[in-house]
Amino acid sequence: MDDMSPKSSSGRFRKWFKRKHKNKQKHKQPDPYNYLDGLSDGEDEGDYIMEDVYISSFEMDPCTSANELRIFVGTWNVAGRSPVGSLAVDLEEWLKPQDAADIYVLGFQEIVPLKTRTVIGVEDPTEATNWNLLIGKTLNENFGCPWLTPMLNPVSSDNYQYVKVPDCERRASFSGVIDSTLMRGRWITQYHQQLVLGGSKYKLMASKKMVGVFISVWMKKELLKKYCVSNVKVSSVACGIMGYLGNKGSVSVSMSIEGTSFCFIGAHLASGEKNGDEGRRNRQVSEIFKRTSFPRSAKDDDNRHPLTIFGHDQIFWFGDLNYRLDLEDNLARDLIKKQDWKALQGFDQLRKEQEDGGVFEGWREGNIKFAPTYKYSSSNCNRYSGGLPNRSGEKQRTPAWCDRILWYGKGVKLLSYFRSESKFSDHRPVSAQFSTQIEVMKSTNSRFLDKETNFHNIMPPEQIGPSINNEEGKPTLLSLIVKDTESSSTHMQVDTNY
């Protein structure tokens, strides 16, 4: 709902405040010590900005403040290769753990070869486990923390598990989620408990695999002590062969940090550079929007969480989206040699589809100032596949920016958008670093409001009384907000019905 609407909470308060303040102005002279005396009903730019500042303070300061988080989002198609050999060096160059983001959100595609037995067979968690081990090792060893050896612990139910963090280690609710399938049941690795409770700096929050599409979310341990992290849920949508097999599709994580909800979607869309292939990709995006859900369960707490992608405050979509360049191969290669990224972007399918309203309308992406990330000839090679003269047996592919990161929502600022140079696969990893704003409860009790302290911060003393009860003694909007805030509570929960 639009906050400017008269039907919204802030809209009703804005209307009430103007009316009350206007009546007071008829009977008293301006008070130079009251910073609200300059507020008027006019649409003067200065007044409008001041009014927005005030209303924003009303919505945030009584019980919340805005805190900054740094989020690293990365995507990488690893072409079915296992995380072995010298990959640890490549991973460190990609994740740049020395910059120490608060949250790492990593999406992978093709962590297993997309063969018939892996697409229609039973999920094997081995590769997901290996990637999580290497990611955790890369993030945590940079801070001198010991790494613990994983042990598999089979679970014979279809519920995914969580490890409860003792109250002394955290301020509010938190549940870690890890999800995979092993033979006839679900499994959870014992090392997840070590990741949550051990001495590492980063903790595994959620992990979800669907065939070759994989997402892994990590958070600094200190944030779990400082903030209320709740409603960690996962979802997957298969929309590959016949529209329902998992060779293509998405894996998503939903979570709330204090009063701000996040959704992270890692996707692998239809390949192909023929005319009309972009339409297939568009339709898969629509299917993912339609079918991704984070249903409530009996174990959920009283705080409602978003059920769909667009119900979240901040949304990040990343992966091998497979959009190509509508340009002849030789012309594309000429522009790449000249590093004329601006000219090349004019032929980018994804940007054209966005402009035409075909997909991701209203979403944002950073300015691309790096070379196309696909397709390289082979591993350990810096040459694009194909071209003239074409080598025997080599696929002819026009280079393209297949690997992308987009976002939607307020309070998100892009800090950097870049690719890394690992030669591990025929794709190059792509990363984006963001600064995000979250609404944080000001009191040490995340759901308690210190009315006297906080309201004095935004409102002069003479305004506090009328804001609680009107002339007839009935509770006003503000008093209802206070009552609702004081009666709220948080509980640890996890969805067990996915």
> Under a CB-based contact definition with an 8 Å cutoff, are residues 136 and 94 in contact?
no
H or E, element range at 256 = strand 249-257
Helix/strand/coil for 468: helix
Closest by alpha carbon to 324, among 345, 301, 354?
A: 345
Closest by alpha carbon to 466, among 7, 21, 60?
A: 21
- Dihedral of CA 272/275/281/283: which sign? negative
Tens-digit pLDDT profile for residues 331-353: 999 999 999 999 999 999 999 99
Range ranked top by mean pLDDT from 14-28, 62-76, 246-260, 475-489:
246-260
- Dihedral of CA 143/145/149/155: which sign? negative
φ/ψ (deg, to 5) at 287:
-65, -40
Tens-digit pLDDT profile for residues 275-326: 999 999 999 999 999 999 999 988 777 778 899 999 999 999 999 999 999 9
pLDDT of residue 62: 55
Residue with tokens 């194909």: 386
Instruction: Average the pLDDT over 430-456 and give the result.
Output: 63
Which strand ranges, in their side-by-side order, compose the sheet holding 403-409? Answer: 229-238, 249-257, 260-268, 314-320, 403-409
DSSP 161: B
Residue with tokens 């003792």: 166
Closest by alpha carbon to 459, among 41, 55, 103, 48?
A: 55
Fold of 64-141+190-387+396-441: Deoxyribonuclease I; Chain A (3.60.10)
Spatial distance between the Cα atoms of 317 and 267, rounded to a whole number of angstroms: 7
> Under a CB-based contact definition with an 8 Å cutoff, are residues 104 and 218 in contact?
yes
Spatial distance between the Cα atoms of 361 and 10, rounded to a whole number of angstroms: 27
Tens-digit pLDDT profile for residues 138-189: 999 875 444 443 333 322 222 233 333 444 444 433 334 555 433 233 334 4
- The domain segmentation of the chain, as residue ranges, is 64-141+190-387+396-441
The residues near 241 (Cβ < 8 Å, ≥ 6 apart) are 119, 247, 248
Could you tell me if residue 150 is left (phi over 0), alpha (psi between -120 and 50 degrees) or otherwise beta? beta
Spatial distance between the Cα atoms of 256 and 19, rounded to a whole number of angstroms: 36
Spatial distance between the Cα atoms of 326 and 303, rounded to a whole number of angstroms: 47
Helix/strand/coil for 253: strand
